[in-house]
Amino acid sequence: MAEQSCIFCKIVAGEIPAAKVFEDERALAFRDINPQAPTHALVIPREHIASLGDAVESHEALLGHLLLIGARVAREAGLAESGFRTVINTGAGAGQSVFHIHAHVLGGRRLSWPPG
Amino acid sequence: MAEQSCIFCKIVAGEIPAAKVFEDERALAFRDINPQAPTHALVIPREHIASLGDAVESHEALLGHLLLIGARVAREAGLAESGFRTVINTGAGAGQSVFHIHAHVLGGRRLSWPPG
C-alpha cells in the first residue's frame, strides 16, 4: 500500500521523477539526489515498508531482492572489481531520512572505515 | 559447502570461538572483534558465499534473512529507538576483509554521513 505522504511511494507511482537505473515488478533503483560517491544509488521496494525495523518475515525474499538489485546496479556501474558498499539506515538516529526502506549502494571512490 | 581457509566457516563449524548473539539453522550473528560502535555485530549465513557480488537469485531469502536477523539483534541490544546501520562491504576496495558475506550492524552512538 502506498503511503500518501511518502516521497518514495510517489516515485514508485511515477508522480515524482527519479533518475532510475533499474526497475522490475518488485523494486526500483535510482540515483541519490545527494550523492556521496561517484556511484550512489538507492534501491527501494515498490511496497511501502517504513524501515528495516518494520520488516517482517514475509518480507525476507523482497529484502534479499533489494540487495541483489544493488549488486546488479553496482556491476552495471562498473564496480565489480573496485567494490561497493551497501548501507541501510534504520531510524532517524542512524541517518534514515525517508521512512520507506532503502538500501544505499556506494562506490567509485575509496570507502573508509568505520562506515560513519 | 565450507571453505577450508575461511575463518567464518570455521566459526560456523565451531572450530574458532565467537561471541555469538544469535544463531539459527541458516545463519548466525556474533560481535565484531574490532567494534566500531557500542553495538557492532556481524551476521553471516552458515553457507559459504564469498560476497554479495557472488550471491545469486537462489540466495534471495537467505540474504533477506541476514537483514532481519540484524534488525533482531539491534532490537535485542536496545537500539529500536536510537536506530542502527546495516553495512555490507563487497570487495577489498570497499573494505571487505573476510570473503564470506557478512552484514555489519552498528548502533549505540551517533552515525555520521557519508558512511565511510
Model confidence band, residue A98 (pLDDT cutoffs 50, 70, 90)? very high
Model confidence band, residue A86 (pLDDT cutoffs 50, 70, 90)? very high
Residues of A tagged active-site: 102
Is the model's pTM score more than 0.95? yes
**Residue A70 contacts B where some CB pair is shorter than 8 Å:** yes
pLDDT in tens, A14-51: 999 999 999 999 999 999 999 999 999 999 999 999 99
Cell 558498499 found at: A85
Question: What's the CA gap between B5 and B107, in Å, rounded?
Answer: 30
Q: What percentage of chain A reaches a pLDDT higher than 70? A: 99
pLDDT for the residue A4: 80
Identify which of A23, A79, A88, A67 has the alpha carbon closest to the alpha carbon of residue B87. Answer: A88
Which residue of B68, B113, B114 is in closest CB contact with A60? B68
What ipTM was reported for this prediction? 0.97
What is the DSSP code (8-state) at residue A64?
H
pLDDT in tens, B14-55: 999 999 999 999 999 999 999 999 999 999 999 999 999 999
Handedness of CA B65, B68, B70, B73 (dihedral sign): negative
Please list every residue in chain A whose beta carbon sits closer than 8 Å to the beta carbon of residue B64: 59-65, 67
pLDDT for the residue B1: 63
Question: What's the CA gap between A33 and A45, in Å, rounded?
Answer: 18
Chain A residues 73-112 with a CB less than 8 Å from chain B: 74-75, 79-96, 104, 106-107, 110-112
Q: Would you say residue A114 has pLDDT above 70?
A: yes
Quote the mean pLDDT of chain A.
97
pLDDT in tens, B45-93: 999 999 999 999 999 999 999 999 999 999 999 999 999 999 999 999 9
